[in-house]
Amino acid sequence: MSVNRRAFLGAAATLLVKPSWKPAFAGLPRSGARSLAFHNLHTGERLAVDYWVEGRYQAQALGAVNSLLRDFRTGEVHAIAPSLLDLLATLRLRLETEGPFEVISGYRSPQTNAMLHAAGEHSGVATKSLHMQGMAVDIRVPGRALERVRDAALTVHGGGVGYYPASDFVHVDIGAVRRW
């Protein structure tokens, strides 16, 4: 799948952002590569990527992540915040896994978010969701209990953590540190 011009420019713009060195991400390597793997449960797509190499976010890798985490309902692609990827990389280290994150929801267009909120289809859909800014993702981790994923995310202190055992996922974002 090719990355459209808008997604490419969004990914390229993120290269101008300095890497996140929040204390929460202090365990990430400062040299070498940072890698992530994803399995989008709605599209069936898989991706394993080195998104950061020797101190630089990789435009092509970011574009591939943007595409994989697109709004699966509309096909709209949006730049995913590199800090969210750093959060996931930190979480991956805490969970001691190299397996893929199973993605329930990445980027969500304003239209999709409004539809989900109005329909009440998914309890807890915020009207100003960080999903709409490419700053949140709903995940599972194969081979790790959902409670363990939640607990590991809470220890990172990198943003919000929502626990949805009835829907079988954990929400993580790079907003204010909070939990629900």
Q: What is the pLDDT of residues 101-141, one digit of tens each?
A: 999 999 999 999 999 888 765 556 787 899 999 999 999 99
* Contact present, 36 and 102 (Cβ < 8 Å): no
Q: Which two tokens mark 27?
A: 């365990």
Report the pLDDT value the prediction gives residue 119, as an integer from 0 to 100: 77
CA distances from 139 to 74, 120, 165, 167 (A): 20, 20, 12, 11
Q: Which segments of the chain are extended strands (E)? A: 33-40, 46-53, 56-57, 101-105, 136-140, 160-164, 169-173, 178-179
Q: Where are the domains of the chain?
A: 5-179
Q: Cα 177 from chain centroid?
A: 16
Q: Which two tokens mark 136?
A: 């949140």
CATH topology of domain 5-179: Muramoyl-pentapeptide Carboxypeptidase; domain 2 (3.30.1380)
pLDDT in tens, the chain (180 residues): 444 555 554 544 444 444 444 567 888 988 999 999 999 999 999 999 999 999 999 999 999 999 999 999 999 999 999 999 999 999 999 999 999 999 999 999 999 999 988 876 555 678 789 999 999 999 999 999 999 999 999 999 999 999 999 999 999 999 999 999
Report the pLDDT value the prediction gives residue 126, as an integer from 0 to 100: 80
